[in-house]
Structure 1
Amino acid sequence: MTDPTASSELPPAAQPDGIVPDTKDWTWVLARPCPECGFAAADVEPADVGPAVRGSLPRWRTALERPDVAVRPSPDVWSTLEYAAHVRDVFRIFDERLGLMVEQDDPAFANWDQDVAALEGDYAHQDPAVLADELEASGGVVAASFDAVAPGQEERTGRRSNGSVFTVRTLGQYFLHDVVHHLHDVRA
């Protein structure tokens, strides 16, 4: 993903797997549509998140059935398999963060480095059939969590270690952009 608000600073060095870590702050998607995938996060209500996640799951399963699922389009771009593993973990991380926001007052989120997770989780060597089942299960859990957001909880807050503050509403918007954008990345 390319951040149109990124500065001209030099990009970070590639990791051992050839991927250059994404160090950009993607919270700008909360203010304007993404020029790459077209998603308008600001239009999303908390009640929209669960159905949208469930609607994405068949597309992920179909993408994971491709014969070239583990092939990177270029050495520095994740394969469909790696993107799917990332999204599975995004489902889990955001379910945890949503739970904290609903249960605690203004919780601080633990750091999550998606690039380290990809290496440590060996995203490139996942079993596509197993991953499809894990995606479906994790997606179902986070969808149900967003479905369960009660009236009055939409503005509860939580924050990342970099100081970015989210409400339940904006967390859902930000999260759903990630899911939709990665479907765009894999052309599913």
Structure 2
Amino acid sequence: MPAADLPRLLGGMGDRYATALGAASEPRRRPAEGVWSPLEYTCHVRDVLRVQGERLVLALSVTTPEFPPMGRDERAVAEAYNEQDPAVVLADLADAAEALAARFAGLRPTDLDRTGVYPWPEPTARTMLWLGRHTVHEGEHHLLDIRRAG
């Protein structure tokens, strides 16, 4: 996907998640053991957007920083994802998506080429263009998870 598409794709996540979570008949129900509920996936994507924004800011100010893992499973438990208010989660996700979209909209080609060491699945230097594309991919993947669970 071209870099020029990232702001639109990232910025549209708020509406797409509101639609997907709104369509879930039981947003807090886990469809199987070890599988998150639609609400938990929505919380996770909200946090992915926030963390990716922090990583982008860091990569623009430090040469090849090492990004700490986001601790997705630990975060889900510590922040009680499935107990959160869906309306608040959706508003926070939309804010995080718009903020990240705005950051990407302001990047120059040299900014997109900056790297950071991404921790998953193994520590690897990744460009900020990759970071944006990966974030869009994660968002799309988890929309599918929500639709399957809903």
Deviations 1:105-154 (A, max 9, x none): 11111222100011111111111111111111111111111111113222
> Hey, what does 1:165 align to over in structure 2?
125
Matched with 2:144 is 184
The reply to whether residue 124 of structure 1 matches residue 82 of structure 2 is: yes
SS where residue 116 of structure 2 aligns? Answer: strand
Contact 1:50 1:144 in 2 (8 A): yes
Is structure 2 residue 98 aligned with structure 1 residue 140? yes
Please say which structure displays the higher CA radius of gyration: 1
Partner of residue 61 from structure 1, selected from 18, 28, 32: 18
SS at match of 1:153: helix
Cα displacement string for residues 32-75 of structure 1 (whole angstroms, at most 9, x for unaligned residues): xxxxxxxxxxxx22222221022222121122324411111112
Q: Is the 8 A contact 1:64 1:129 kept in 2?
A: no
Aligned residues: 145
Q: Which amino acid aligns with 1:170?
A: W
Please point out which of 30, 41, 49 is paired with 1:83: 41
User: What CA distance in whole angstroms lies between the structure 2 residues aligned with 1:52 and 1:160?
Assistant: 21
**Other structure's SS at 1:158 match:** strand
The superposition leaves residues 3-59 of structure 1 with CA deviations (integer Å, 9 ceiling, x where unpaired) of xxxxxxxxxxxxxxxxxxxxxxxxxxxxxxxxxxxxxxxxx2222222102222212
Note if contact 1:72-1:78 (Cα within 8 Å) is conserved in structure 2: yes
Runs of 4+ in 1 over 3 A off after TM superposition: none
Alpha-carbon distance in structure 1 between the residues aligned to 2:123 and 2:68: 12
Q: Which is helix-richer, 1 or 2?
A: 2
TM norm structure 2: 0.89
Match of 1:154 among 87, 90, 112: 112
Which gives a bigger RCO, structure 1 or 2 (Cα 8 Å, sep 6+)? Answer: 2
The alignment partner of 1:75 has SS state of coil
Q: Which runs of 5+ in 2 are unaligned?
A: none
1:158: Cα distance to partner? 0.5
Counterpart AA for 2:30: R
Hey, what does 1:93 align to over in structure 2?
Answer: 51
Identity of aligned residues (%): 36
Query: How big is each residue's C-alpha offset from its partner over 1:76-122, in whole Å with a ceiling of 9 and x where there is no partner?
Result: 21111000000000000000011111222111112221000111111
